[in-house]
Amino acid sequence: MVQKGFADWFAKTEPDILCLQEVRAEDEQIPAEIKDIEGYHSYWTSCQKKKGYSGVGIYTRIQPEELNHGFGVDEFDDEGRVIQLVFPDWVLNSIYFPNGSQSDERLDYKLRFYDAFLENSLMWINRGKHVVTVGDYNTCHKEIDIARPKENENISGFLPVERAWLDKYVENGFVDSFRVLHPTQKDAYTWWSNRGRARENNIGWRLDYAFVDEGLKDCIVNASIHPEVMLSDHCPISLELEVPFPPIVKS
């Protein structure tokens, strides 16, 4: 990504906050010109079990009150998949969710990771903070989110059990910001295989999401996908929220 023009794209885009997933680098391997960008605080985490695996990062103009590298569960936190920034009235998660395709054990790990994430999110809601979670969820939620649903219904990333968990996530009070504004838009994907000219033919998967709690639904100003940006096999997504956020209303 660095070699493909990340710095130029970042300078042109000037986001208030930028979240990265699948960084695949140790902290000391990140070039200084990328790590230390003027006007931003940057936070990074990497996998403790395996070098060059997973990893996430966040650049933010707004300094958080608290920084967490996970949910406080070692088996999940050790893989370097989570950076959580805590602000006065909201929490931001940048997460690279696990892929379940390697084995039944990894699928089980993925589902348990999802559950730990949901438990953590609900904890913050109960504390009166909104929750925004952006990242590679590694699952397409609905048939509209994948180019070839029938061919992939037995493939991890579109398994019924994975999609059912996203249903549970929504039932617990979280909304897909892109679908709030674009409920019926087809051919809106964020990842394409490197094989078979998939990107050229737009045979893709929508794996990257920006979910917010229902209390922020009316604050969504814009939620977009940017397939024209070709920094990796994923493309960026963006979310614009109106501030200040309303207080959490507990039922």
Bridge partners of 220, per DSSP, are: 241
Helices (H), the chain: 6-13, 32-35, 74-77, 104-126, 160-171, 177-181
What amino acid occupies position 193? S
Query: Is 213 annotated as catalytic?
Result: no
- Say how far apart CA 158 and CA 207 lie, in whole Å: 10
Q: Which two tokens stand for residue 154?
A: 């037995």
**Dihedral sign of CA atoms 44, 48, 49, 52 in order:** positive
Instruction: Give the N- to C-terminal CA distance of the chain in Å, as an integer.
Output: 44
Q: Taking each helix axis from N to C terminus, what angle separates 160-171 and 104-126, rounded to the nearest 10 degrees?
A: 0
Question: Nearest to residue 132, comparing CAs of 64, 184, 31, 226?
Answer: 64
Q: Which residues contact 243 (CB under 8 A, 6 or more apart)?
A: 219
**For residue 243, what are its two tokens?**
């501030």
CA angle 70, 103, 1 (to 5 degrees): 55
Residue type, 131: V
Burial label for 45, CB within 10 Å (0-12, 13-18, 19+), is buried
Q: Which of 89, 136, 145, 218 is catalytic?
A: 136
Active site residues: 136
